[in-house]
Amino acid sequence: MERANPRLYLTTMTKSARAGKIYLDYLRNERGATAVAPFSPRARSGAPVSMPLAWSELDAPSRPVFHVADFEDWRSRLSKDPWKAMLTTRQTIRPEALKSVA
C-alpha cells in the first residue's frame, strides 16, 4: 500500500513523518507482538487508560483522555460493549477508495 500510494500511506514509525498520512503498523502482526487491551491502564505518567472511542469522539476539537484516577467519570463505559455489533456489521469499501490504493 505504501509503495502504491506513498502520499497516503507510510510504514515509518516516526510521528513527525506521519502528518496527513495513514500509518500502517505492520509490526503488530507478528508472533509475540503486543497490543493494548481496551480499558487497560498504560504505563505512562498520569496512568492514562486505553479507551474505545465512538467515531463522533474523534471529530471533537481535542481527543478525550481517560485516567485511572477518573474512573468514576468513565465507569459507565464499561456497561456498553463497543464491539457488540462488530461480527454482524456489513461494510463495504467504496470503489473510489479502492482506486486510490491501486
φ/ψ of 97, rounded to 5, equals -70, -35
In this prediction the pTM is 0.53
| Residue 76: predicted pLDDT | 92
Mean per-residue pLDDT of the chain: 85
d(CA 50, CA 48): 7
Contact predicate 50/40, CB 8 Å: yes
Sign of the CA dihedral running 92, 95, 101, 102: positive
**Strands of the chain, DSSP E:** 9-10, 22-23
Task: Report the pLDDT averaged over residues 39-67.
Answer: 89
